[in-house]
Structure 1
Amino acid sequence: MRYLPHTPEEISEMLAVIGADSLDGLFTAVPAECRMTASWNLPRAKSEWQLNDHMRALAAAMGVDEGAQVLIGAGSYRHHIPEAVRALAGRSEFLTAYTPYQAEMAQGTLQSIFEYQTLTARLLGMDVVNASMYDGASALAEALLMGLRIAKRKKRVAVSRAIHPHYRATVRAYLQAAGVEIIELEVLADGRTDLGALGVGSAVAAVALQSPNFFGVIEDLQQAGAIIQGADALFVACFTEPLAFGMLKSPGACGADIVCGEGQSFGLTPSFGGPGLGMFGCREPFTRNLPGRLVGETRDREGRRGYVLTLATREQHIRREKATSNICSNQGICALTAAMYMASLGGTGIRQLARLNFDKSEYFKHLLLRAGASLVFSGPTFNEFVVRFPGDFATIRQRLLARNIVAGLDLGGLYPELGGAYLFCVTETTGKETLDAVAAEVQA
Structure 2
Amino acid sequence: MVFSPHTPEDRAMMLQAIGVDRIEQLFEGIPASYRFPELRLPPPVAEADIFRELLELSLRNWSTVATPTFLGAGSYNHYVPAVVHQILWRGEFYTAYTPYQPEVSQGTLQSIYEFQSLVCLLTGMDVANASMYDGATALAEGALLCVSPSRGRTAIVVAGTVHPYYRGVLRTYTRGLPVEVREVPIPDSLRTAPQDLERFVDESTACVVVQYPNFYGRIEDLAALAETAHAVGARFVVSTYPIALGLLRPPGELGADVVTGEGQCLGIPQSFGGPGLGLLAARMELVRHLPGRLIGATVDREGKRGFVMVLQTREQHIRREKATSNICTNQGLMALAATVYLSALGRRGLQKIAELCYHKAHYLAQRIAELPGWSLVGEGAFFNEFVVRCPQDPRAINEFLLQRGIIGGLAVGELVPQQDDLMLLCATELTTKEHIDRLVEALRDLTL
The residue aligned with 2:31 is: none
For structure 1, the 5+ residue unaligned runs are none
Counterpart check, 1:284 vs 2:284: yes
Task: Give yes or no for contact 2:98–2:328 (8 Å, CA) kept in 1.
Answer: no
Q: How many angstroms apart in 2 are the aligned matches of 1:33 and 1:96?
A: 34
Letter in 2 for 1:112: S
User: What aligned pairs does 1:357-368 form with structure 2 within 5 A after superposition?
Assistant: 357-368=357-368
User: What aligned pairs does 1:92-171 form with structure 2 within 5 A after superposition?
Assistant: 92-96=91-95, 98-149=97-148, 152-171=151-170
The residue aligned with 1:295 is: 295
- SS, match of residue 260 in structure 2: strand
Task: Give yes or no for contact 2:138–2:261 (8 Å, CA) kept in 1.
Answer: yes
Q: How many angstroms apart in 2 are the aligned matches of 1:223 and 1:351?
A: 25
The residue aligned with 2:2 is: 5
Q: 1:195 to 1:322 in 2, by over 3 A?
A: farther
Q: How many angstroms apart in 2 are the aligned matches of 1:114 and 1:23?
A: 45
The residue aligned with 2:27 is: 36
The residue aligned with 2:428 is: 427
Q: How many angstroms apart in 2 are the aligned matches of 1:198 and 1:309?
A: 41
Q: How many angstroms apart in 1 are the aligned matches of 2:16 and 2:383?
A: 58
Q: 1:347 to 1:142 in 2, by over 3 A?
A: same
Task: Give yes or no for contact 2:208–2:235 (8 Å, CA) kept in 1.
Answer: yes
Q: How many angstroms apart in 2 are the aligned matches of 1:379 and 1:233?
A: 26
Q: How many angstroms apart in 1 are the aligned matches of 2:38 and 2:64?
A: 30
Deviates more, 1:416-425 or 1:61-70: 61-70
Q: 1:7 to 1:254 in 2, by over 3 A?
A: closer
The residue aligned with 1:215 is: 216
Q: 1:379 to 1:35 in 2, by over 3 A?
A: farther
- SS, match of residue 440 in structure 2: helix
Task: Give yes or no for contact 1:117–1:130 (8 Å, CA) kept in 2.
Answer: yes
- SS, match of residue 298 in structure 1: strand
Task: Give yes or no for contact 2:152–2:204 (8 Å, CA) kept in 1.
Answer: no
- SS, match of residue 238 in structure 1: strand
Q: 1:192 to 1:259 in 2, by over 3 A?
A: same
The residue aligned with 1:327 is: 327
The residue aligned with 1:384 is: 385
Task: Give yes or no for contact 2:316–2:325 (8 Å, CA) kept in 1.
Answer: no
Counterpart check, 1:71 vs 2:60: no
Task: Give yes or no for contact 1:208–1:236 (8 Å, CA) kept in 2.
Answer: yes
Task: Give yes or no for contact 2:288–2:314 (8 Å, CA) kept in 1.
Answer: no
Counterpart check, 1:205 vs 2:201: no
The alpha carbon displacement at 1:86 in A equals 1.8
Q: How many angstroms apart in 1 are the aligned matches of 2:78 and 2:215?
A: 18
Task: Give yes or no for contact 2:394–2:420 (8 Å, CA) kept in 1.
Answer: no
The residue aligned with 1:371 is: 371
Task: Give yes or no for contact 1:313–1:324 (8 Å, CA) kept in 2.
Answer: no
Deviates more, 1:396-405 or 1:146-155: 146-155
The residue aligned with 2:247 is: 247
The alpha carbon displacement at 1:439 in A equals 1.2
Question: In the TM superposition, what whole-angstrom CA distance separates every residue of 1:135-179 from its partner, at most 9, and x where no partner exists?
Answer: 111101111110114874322111111111111111111102213
Q: How many angstroms apart in 2 are the aligned matches of 1:33 and 1:147?
A: 49
Task: Give yes or no for contact 1:386–1:422 (8 Å, CA) kept in 2.
Answer: yes
For structure 2, the 5+ residue unaligned runs are 29-34
Q: 1:376 to 1:39 in 2, by over 3 A?
A: closer
Task: Give yes or no for contact 2:193–2:221 (8 Å, CA) kept in 1.
Answer: no
Q: 1:324 to 1:369 in 2, by over 3 A?
A: same
- Identity among equivalent positions (%) equals 42
Counterpart check, 1:411 vs 2:419: no
Q: Structure 2 length normalisation: TM-score?
A: 0.88
Letter in 2 for 1:218: I
Question: In the TM superposition, what whole-angstrom CA distance separates every residue of 1:234-276 from its partner, at most 9, and x where no partner exists?
Answer: 100012x210000000010111000001000000001111111
Q: 1:186 to 1:303 in 2, by over 3 A?
A: same
Task: Give yes or no for contact 1:213–1:219 (8 Å, CA) kept in 2.
Answer: yes
The residue aligned with 1:344 is: 344
Aligned CA RMSD, in angstroms, stands at 2.8
Q: How many angstroms apart in 2 are the aligned matches of 1:313 and 1:172?
A: 29
Q: Structure 1 length normalisation: TM-score?
A: 0.89
The alpha carbon displacement at 1:58 in A equals 5.3
- SS, match of residue 388 in structure 2: strand
Task: Give yes or no for contact 1:267–1:341 (8 Å, CA) kept in 2.
Answer: yes
User: What aligned pairs does 1:253-268 form with structure 2 within 5 A after superposition?
Assistant: 253-268=253-268
Q: How many angstroms apart in 2 are the aligned matches of 1:123 and 1:26?
A: 58
Letter in 1 for 2:291: P
Letter in 1 for 2:289: N
Q: How many angstroms apart in 2 are the aligned matches of 1:26 and 1:442?
A: 69
- SS, match of residue 385 in structure 1: strand
The residue aligned with 1:401 is: 402
The alpha carbon displacement at 1:416 in A equals 1.6
The alpha carbon displacement at 1:24 in A equals 5.5
Q: How many angstroms apart in 1 are the aligned matches of 2:390 and 2:274?
A: 32
Q: How many angstroms apart in 1 are the aligned matches of 2:244 and 2:287?
A: 25
- SS, match of residue 381 in structure 2: coil
